[in-house]
Structure 1
Amino acid sequence: MSSPEDLADKFGELPDEVMAELQNMLRLYNIDAEELFFKWEEYCLKMGEDIKLNMKNITAFKDDAREQFEIEMRAKSKAAQAPAARGAQRTAKNAGDVFNMLDGLTPATPRSSGPSAAKRKFERAGYETPLAERTSKLAVGSSPVGPGSVFRTPGTAATSLPFRNRTDPGKVMEVLNPYIKLPQLPLPGYEGYQSRVKCIVNVKTINFQYKPMYQQLTKASEYFDDLIDEYADTIGDEHEIPAEDFCNPCSKLPEEVVVVGRIVTDVMDSQKRSNEASLLLEASRGGGAGKRVRLDLTALKGYAFFPGMLVAFKATNPTGDKLIVNSILDPPTYFEACSSVAQLEDEVQKLSSGNLNVFIAAGPYTTDDNLDFEGLIELVDKIVETEPDVVFLSGPFIDTEHPKVKLGDFPVDMDNFSGYVLEDLFKQKITSQLNRITKSMIMLVPSTRDAVSKHVAFPQDRFQKKLLGLQPNVQLLTNPSMLAINEIQFGISTTDILFHLNMQEVKATGKKVEMNTFHRLANYVVSSSHFYPLFPAPEASQVGYTTPLDVPRLRLCEFPDNVKPDVLILPSNLPGTAKVVNDVVTVNPGFLSTKRTAGTYAFLTILPPSSVLEENGGQPAPDGLRRKVHQRARVEIRRI
């Protein structure tokens, strides 16, 4: 171990307490003074400034060094385990190919050597797809997973629990507004959704028919630039701040001023989460030449940020190198749309026989070890039995991440082959079940992981109805989508924004920070008036799959006219739940099937707006009446 003189030679004269901390690090990590000095320089470069080596900074340096050390140890641990597994496969007796993918057709395999054996093999195989016992060695999870399970090695997939052996089928996991009485379904005299439901889609679907994978960097940068400028205008109107009072956050600001920008992070390693030290504020080109400045958040008693978040601060920047944030300005307030008295009376008439009833479910719809879609079959059985007005089904339906789909391990009906393998699989497994539903309106929303979607980027175009053989009561929606069912505004997106935000969020608990995770994450979506306010999306190494974003088209993810929906549906890998967030009924139904077992879905019932009309007393309302759906809606999260 290096002596104090070696440390002084590298770091110069230091206070005794700082020198003692450096010596502790030498002992802890078993390194010399020179290597520790290199780590200190690396830390200074990462922070983007020349930092004095005092007790405050040495503490942050120690935390960073410990985190780096843990990452290195995990990497070494994986490297130490991997060679043994690979070596066993290479040295296995009579193994002629990796993972036995050629099934013994190589010359090194004795049982298939010679023309006759190869001939028998090809005659037996024909056009059959890879066998389950071979492909399971390569299988990876289809459901979104956390970082810990992404690196599972081949052959370690856990077996799924048979659907018939699932735990607590039908159990109600959570209830929102339990004081609302649950209706008896089917409703008496219910003949179908046609007389009770009127649907209007509030997005221009033609705008979603763009060419994906054709992004221009200039268009992407203009999008972010415009977002910051528009947010500055909105904040100015909200807090009555003149435009000339907004300052460039990257310039020297000795006095407290108001600055606006976008939160970004300089963490480059996908395995490393953003932290307080990695946050920067990016200004627009008009407001700060597009530059970035590091944030000092020590004066805040609590905060919660994520990359891509638009913010307005009261702050100072004495040196021009670091923005010292003193307070955060509240985001703009968006209001829910209102309805006229006549419109609400018309809805009461439509729902004279009972509540508006909605089923909500999200894919995947089958576990990783099969394509039987038992969860979907069970859900359709319940829908046929109870006859709700509307059914929301969101993708993925045929999941590109499902092991059997990735490897083509499913039979093909050559007698009814249309030329489209995956679309035929959809018709066989999904369409056949949806055709059983005749008295409910079905809303299908695609996912970027849907194998039958011609559109690979988010925001995403609709499915092709004719190609999938869907019946007239199926309404195809874009991803995301806003629509009105009667007078109730619904918003839905299948991109798992809640899980992604949870992975990228940087927060410190405090007075103004919401403690409930789901409420806080959902409020990011509602308060930003955007279905996907996060940027960039997490990498596959973080969440188990990629989320391709077409940045210039993210305008399509904004709430129309910045009006909040009454019901917001955000399917997520997080546990299913329902909460009232900023007066919006926010529902995460969970996934109908997880990787190994059955999952959850949601049931929503909404009272007719009679109470809203009674409170108004029949008086005319020029500006319309608030629908107060969050007071009229009961949501149950149920196990399938």
Structure 2
Amino acid sequence: MSIENELISKFGASVDKPEVISTLEHCMKIYDLSVDEIYIKWEQFSYHNRDKYAANSLTDQVLHDFKEYIQQQMERRANASITSTQSTISSLKKPKMLIPNTNSPSIFGLGIPNTPTLKKRRLEARSPLEQSKLSPLVGDNTSISNTSPLAATPNSGTPANLKNATEPDKCLVTLNVDNVNKAEGIDFDNESKVIISPFYDAKKYKFRTMRQSLLDAADVLDEQIDIFTEVIQKHHNLKASDIGDPTFQQQSEVYTVGRIVADSVSAEGSLNVDSLAIETSRSTGIGRRIRLNFEKVQDLSVFPGQIIGLRGKNANGEYFVVEEILKVPYLNFPVSDAETLQNSQITLNDQAMKVVVTAGPYTAANNLDFSNLADFVERINSSIKPHVLVMFGPFLDITHPLISTGNIPEFPSLKQQPKTLDEIFIKVITPILRRINPKIQVIVLPSTKEVSSKHAAYPQDSLDRKYLGLPKNFKCFTNPSTFQLNEIFFGCSNNDIYKDLKEVTKGGNVFQRNRFDRVSEHILEQRRYYPVFPGGIRTRKIEDKNGKPIFEHISGADLDLPYLGLTEFVGGIIPDVILIPSELTHFARVVQNVIMINPGSFIRPNGGRGTYVEMSIEAPDMENEKMTKVEDVYLHNLWKRSRIDVLTA
């Protein structure tokens, strides 16, 4: 496929103009961008300028501003690279890059770093002089107070005032600003308390990771297709005999259900409409695959791993011509009876509930300085005062440059330096978190990159609260997890679906919707927090002993396939609000009457302030028009009675 066709496939028919194509190709050539990369930058540009330009607008002025936007991004990246290079040159010795153990096989044929070995490796206590000789990321520590318990020796390449360049608690985005007032927060002199109820079986997460077999994985993937087959069959009033094998050549139309996959396991580069196939279940097509032809479909948005229902026929035995994509029904919304809603009003004294959400990392990429987190905790107690604080990991990221290379700096305030990575959490992070007012309830969810987690795969067991020394007002939940705050259902997942889901799109109408909305609809339709398969993988290019380039696995979705059932929505309902942190731009959106939130990273990689989310939720009032009564129960309608503010951390 030519670059011009790829651009039209990604951007839609609106770019099918010589001047527009020429401008985009010129940008790709100057800045060395692929079609996918320039499209992602266009999505970012469109989101930031959504109030300035019409949707899918590609006028001369818009293209001019888009080019300037890319140029500014490149300049910032170049400045950051220069700063990092100066820091490296100023060091006395370059650390040796440690290569993870890649002898451990995975179901994808990829090596997995031997995390437990790195985690348990004892760290030798070093003097500041010795440390400065070992690490290029550690500089002069004269700017750090010797009495500070929060900061490790910082990087000299980062300006000291960078993290304070942005005013904290500055509102960036607000949802429902005109309909809901901002909540005042918890009254520490009052006994009001939010009731937190886990809505999952914690025992099911107590499995041992890295013990999956191909047979178990195949059974789970096959079962997903069979479950959706029943759902689609019931929704569209189809008979069991109507579901056929798309790989079988025949002249009549059939209905089929399967998984979207690439048409070749060795396919390289980005997928497109012409490189997709459908994988059948063992009961329908013995697990065989066949290429898909979407010429007769006007609008399309699919992705690898999606379970999809199709109507079409395979006339020549080479590909399945799709006539129609069958709609998959959404799950039901949660409801509550009058008594439950009255109890929710009582627990909060008819006041609005305030929920704050943060997501790691909590330090910059060049230091282990937790002073911003400590400052945030002080504001939590004094001004923000939420009823509930939801904190996503990682608190200590296994891929952090200082941790992955073993160049752990000293913590000046500690008399005895940590000897393991777990001790860093216990001695440095836990004291900060323990300062949170005990009347504020805190929910902690791990990350697959979390150093202190026993599970390095998704789905993931919770952190050990007692081992980490966290107080009783902390609750450690699994990843993903569903829980209730009073009557409201929260769905949480700490796996970056918004970055990992690679859409294959067709048709101009698809681009009338924001990409975040499209991905959110896929999540709701697929009934799973992470429906992509195979999961996203992040690698970096290094050289082996012979100087041959190889790709090292850094992190990714790291799916534990036999337990993917734990990533599905529980209880047959869609949560009122879904929280999924992503490295992409923060957002708060209403999709199919569900609030979808990405709080963004708490700290930017360069040390600048990131973002967090503050939710103000009105108490349920059964007499209010915002509540909808259905027979004897009420829809929660959280999207009508909630205000979401995205603020600087």
**Shorter-chain TM-score: what band?**
0.7 to 0.9
1:229 corresponding residue in structure 2 = 226
1:176 corresponding residue in structure 2 = 175
TM-align CA RMSD: 3.4
* CA deviation after TM superposition for structure 1 residue 380, in Å: 1.2
Q: Write the deviation string for residues 22-48 of structure 1: whole angstroms up to 9, x where unpaired.
A: xxx9xxxxxxxxxxxxxxxxxxxxxxx
Residue identity opposite 2:617 in structure 1: I
1:532 is aligned, of 527, 530, 533, to 530
Cα distance between partner residues in 2 of 1:128 and 1:561: 55
- 2:568 matched to 1:558? yes
- 2:375 matched to 1:373? no
Residue identity opposite 2:459 in structure 1: P
Residues 617 and 134 of structure 1: CA distance in aligned 2, closer, same or farther (over 3 Å) = closer
Map 1:565-604 onto structure 2 (within 5 A): 565-596=575-606, 597-604=608-615
The alignment partner of 1:255 has SS state of coil
Q: Write the deviation string for residues 487-511 of structure 1: whole angstroms up to 9, x where unpaired.
A: 000010111111111xx22112343
* CA deviation after TM superposition for structure 1 residue 621, in Å: 4.0
* CA deviation after TM superposition for structure 1 residue 191, in Å: 3.3
Residues 232 and 181 of structure 1: CA distance in aligned 2, closer, same or farther (over 3 Å) = closer
* CA deviation after TM superposition for structure 1 residue 473, in Å: 0.1
Q: Write the deviation string for residues 551-597 of structure 1: whole angstroms up to 9, x where unpaired.
A: 01010001112310001001001100100111111110000012112
Check the 8 A contact 1:264/1:279 in 2, yes or no. yes
Cα distance between partner residues in 1 of 2:198 and 2:627: 31
Check the 8 A contact 1:160/1:368 in 2, yes or no. no
Larger radius of gyration: 1
Map 1:117-196 onto structure 2 (within 5 A): 127-128=126-127, 131-132=131-132, 134-136=134-136, 159=158, 162-183=161-182, 185-187=184-186, 189-191=187-189, 195-196=192-193
Check the 8 A contact 2:278/2:290 in 1, yes or no. yes
The alignment partner of 1:603 has SS state of strand
* CA deviation after TM superposition for structure 1 residue 468, in Å: 0.6
* CA deviation after TM superposition for structure 1 residue 127, in Å: 4.0
2:144 corresponding residue in structure 1 = none
1:387 is aligned, of 381, 385, 395, to 385
Check the 8 A contact 2:126/2:410 in 1, yes or no. no
Residues 414 and 424 of structure 1: CA distance in aligned 2, closer, same or farther (over 3 Å) = farther
Residues 637 and 419 of structure 1: CA distance in aligned 2, closer, same or farther (over 3 Å) = closer
Residue identity opposite 1:366 in structure 2: T
1:459 corresponding residue in structure 2 = 459
Cα distance between partner residues in 2 of 1:401 and 1:138: 17
Residues 512 and 271 of structure 1: CA distance in aligned 2, closer, same or farther (over 3 Å) = closer
The alignment partner of 1:630 has SS state of coil
Map 1:473-488 onto structure 2 (within 5 A): 473-488=473-488
Check the 8 A contact 1:458/1:479 in 2, yes or no. yes
Q: Write the deviation string for residues 462-487 of structure 1: whole angstroms up to 9, x where unpaired.
A: 11112110000000000000001100
Map 1:324-403 onto structure 2 (within 5 A): 324-385=321-382, 386-403=384-401
Map 1:242-261 onto structure 2 (within 5 A): 242-261=239-258
* CA deviation after TM superposition for structure 1 residue 232, in Å: 0.7
Residues 282 and 171 of structure 1: CA distance in aligned 2, closer, same or farther (over 3 Å) = same
Identity of aligned residues (%): 29
Cα distance between partner residues in 1 of 2:554 and 2:157: 16
Residue identity opposite 2:591 in structure 1: V
Cα distance between partner residues in 2 of 1:381 and 1:307: 44
Residues 472 and 232 of structure 1: CA distance in aligned 2, closer, same or farther (over 3 Å) = same
The alignment partner of 2:274 has SS state of helix
Check the 8 A contact 2:314/2:321 in 1, yes or no. yes
2:639 corresponding residue in structure 1 = 630
Check the 8 A contact 2:185/2:353 in 1, yes or no. no
Map 1:303-318 onto structure 2 (within 5 A): 303-318=300-315
Residues 263 and 100 of structure 1: CA distance in aligned 2, closer, same or farther (over 3 Å) = closer
* CA deviation after TM superposition for structure 1 residue 370, in Å: 1.5
Cα distance between partner residues in 1 of 2:490 and 2:414: 42
* CA deviation after TM superposition for structure 1 residue 374, in Å: 2.9
Cα distance between partner residues in 1 of 2:629 and 2:568: 34
Cα distance between partner residues in 2 of 1:363 and 1:618: 36
Report which stretch shifted further, 508-517 or 239-248: 508-517
Aligned residues: 510
Residue identity opposite 1:433 in structure 2: I
* CA deviation after TM superposition for structure 1 residue 513, in Å: 6.1
Structure 1 portions without partners, runs of 5+: 1-20, 26-62, 73-94, 103-124, 140-155
Cα distance between partner residues in 1 of 2:274 and 2:160: 43
The alignment partner of 2:172 has SS state of strand
Q: Write the deviation string for residues 286-312 of structure 1: whole angstroms up to 9, x where unpaired.
A: 001100000111211111111110000
1:114 corresponding residue in structure 2 = none
Cα distance between partner residues in 2 of 1:213 and 1:448: 13
Residue identity opposite 1:343 in structure 2: T
Check the 8 A contact 1:344/1:613 in 2, yes or no. no
2:468 corresponding residue in structure 1 = 468
The alignment partner of 1:349 has SS state of helix
Residues 426 and 609 of structure 1: CA distance in aligned 2, closer, same or farther (over 3 Å) = same
- 2:293 matched to 1:282? no
Residues 342 and 418 of structure 1: CA distance in aligned 2, closer, same or farther (over 3 Å) = farther
Report which stretch shifted further, 440-449 or 527-536: 527-536
Residues 260 and 568 of structure 1: CA distance in aligned 2, closer, same or farther (over 3 Å) = same
Residue identity opposite 2:646 in structure 1: I
1:545 corresponding residue in structure 2 = 555
1:83 corresponding residue in structure 2 = none
Residues 416 and 621 of structure 1: CA distance in aligned 2, closer, same or farther (over 3 Å) = farther
1:605 is aligned, of 607, 610, 616, to 616
* CA deviation after TM superposition for structure 1 residue 455, in Å: 1.1
Residue identity opposite 2:371 in structure 1: E
Cα distance between partner residues in 2 of 1:174 and 1:391: 19
The alignment partner of 2:251 has SS state of strand
* CA deviation after TM superposition for structure 1 residue 541, in Å: 3.0
Residue identity opposite 1:536 in structure 2: P
Check the 8 A contact 1:348/1:608 in 2, yes or no. yes
Check the 8 A contact 2:260/2:303 in 1, yes or no. yes
1:150 corresponding residue in structure 2 = none
The alignment partner of 1:225 has SS state of helix
* CA deviation after TM superposition for structure 1 residue 321, in Å: 1.5
Name whichever structure is richer in helix by fraction.
1
1:79 corresponding residue in structure 2 = none
Residues 168 and 615 of structure 1: CA distance in aligned 2, closer, same or farther (over 3 Å) = closer
Cα distance between partner residues in 2 of 1:138 and 1:531: 39
Q: Write the deviation string for residues 260-313 of structure 1: whole angstroms up to 9, x where unpaired.
A: 100011465697222222211000000011000001112111111111100001
* CA deviation after TM superposition for structure 1 residue 158, in Å: 7.6
The alignment partner of 1:545 has SS state of strand
Residue identity opposite 2:520 in structure 1: A
Residues 538 and 416 of structure 1: CA distance in aligned 2, closer, same or farther (over 3 Å) = same
Check the 8 A contact 1:302/1:511 in 2, yes or no. yes
2:550 corresponding residue in structure 1 = none
Map 1:25-36 onto structure 2 (within 5 A): none
* CA deviation after TM superposition for structure 1 residue 184, in Å: 5.7
* CA deviation after TM superposition for structure 1 residue 614, in Å: 4.0
1:241 corresponding residue in structure 2 = 238
